[in-house]
Amino acid sequence: MKLVRYGKAGEEKPGLIDDEGNLRDLSKKVKDITGDTLDAKTLKMLRELNPKKLKKVEGKQRFGPCVGNIGKFLCIGLNYSDHAAETGAAIPEHPILFFKANSAVQGANDPVYLPRNSKKGDWEVELGVVIGRKCKYVTKEKALNYVAGYCVVNDVSEREFQTELTGQWTKGKSCDTFGPTGPWLVTKDEVKDPQSLDMWLDVNGKRMQTGSTKTMIFTVAEIIEHLSQLMTLHPGDVISTGTPPGVGLGMKPKPVFLKEGDVMELGIEGLGQQKQKVRRDK
């Protein structure tokens, strides 16, 4: 099941994508797609609906973030062995954790704005994991039982802010518009193995990232286990699980960074695609 939030920013309505690719309205069934509607009972109710009896939404629609009112946006750094190699970083002993501000979250195809002083904007296609049940002190064997679904995330980064300003990585990860999420949330029953998904990202039509979740250092289950020992995960929390090689920072012979007018296109097998035009904040 593919769940979406469509409409103007801040006024999104809940919907689903049927088997023919049509957008169907869910407003009479749920108020929104949030942590409050990702419990097993509600998802079962939605799954049992006959999409053809739901109102078909005509015309081209904007898709907002596929999860509304995200509680925590947790991100895992250097979680692909081939990405760590391209940056010359050591393989971490434990998952590297940083947060992305909720104010960075936006729709999958909304423009990305580089901050006024940005010089080193970068791209990162990532698998997003959406929590569906309150989760604390779980084991990796049971961790996936707490997942509502998966989505595409572009962990847009500003490398100077991230590594050259005194402080934490969060500075370079939390700029406004740096968290395109969606276009839809694919429920976990449609993702047989989150550790076997191909992923890619193009900039201006040129393939920059080609990878697979197979090369994750820490699996989705291991990440959830680790985080749940540190804090309670709640329904609607999103975990962005790291990126494969091909980021601008790792380009040889010298890094390549985003500039105004660039277009990023990215996707993950079975989870949909995103497209963002890069603009500069005034």
Q: Shortest CA distance to 138 belongs to which of 151, 130, 129, 147?
A: 147
- 205 CB contacts (<8 Å, ≥6 apart)? 263, 265
Give the pLDDT of residue 254. Answer: 94
Strand partners, 250: none
User: What integer is the mean pLDDT of 29-37?
Assistant: 97
What DSSP state is assigned to residue 56? Answer: B
How many Cα atoms are found within 13 Å in the side-chain-facing hemisphere of 233?
A: 29
Whether residue 244 has a cis bond before it, omega within 30° of 0 = no
Extract the tokens encoding 81.
């062995």
Report whether 126 contacts 243 (CB < 8 A). Answer: yes
What are the pLDDT digits (tens) for 72-92? 999 999 999 887 777 777 889
What does residue 181 show for φ and ψ, rounded to 5 degrees? -135, 120
Residue with tokens 């005194």: 166
Q: List the chain domain ranges.
A: 2-53, 73-280
Report whether 160 contacts 120 (CB < 8 A). Answer: yes
Give the pLDDT of residue 83. Answer: 79
Give the pLDDT of residue 82. Answer: 81
255: pLDDT confidence band, cut at 50, 70 and 90? very high
Mean pLDDT of the chain: 96
What are the pLDDT digits (tens) for 137-176? 999 999 999 999 999 999 999 999 998 888 888 999 999 9
Give the CA angle between residues 189, 194, 196 to the nearest 5°.
125
Give the pLDDT of residue 70. Answer: 97
Instruction: Please give the CATH superfamily to which domain 73-280 belongs.
Output: Fumarylacetoacetase-like, C-terminal domain (3.90.850.10)
User: What integer is the mean pLDDT of 29-52?
Assistant: 96
Q: Are strands 105-106 and 179-180 parallel, antiparallel or unpaired?
A: parallel
Report whether 3 contacts 187 (CB < 8 A). Answer: yes
Q: Shortest CA distance to 114 belongs to which of 54, 65, 184, 175?
A: 175
- 138 CB contacts (<8 Å, ≥6 apart)? 145, 146, 224, 225, 228
Extract the tokens encoding 13.
């309505």
Give the CA angle between residues 42, 146, 212 to the nearest 5°.
110
What are the pLDDT digits (tens) for 204-243? 999 999 999 999 999 999 999 999 999 999 999 999 999 9
Residue with tokens 């010089």: 119
Extract the tokens encoding 33.
């797609």
Give the pLDDT of residue 84. Answer: 76
Q: What span, in angstroms and rounded, lies between the C-alpha atoms of 158 and 223?
A: 24
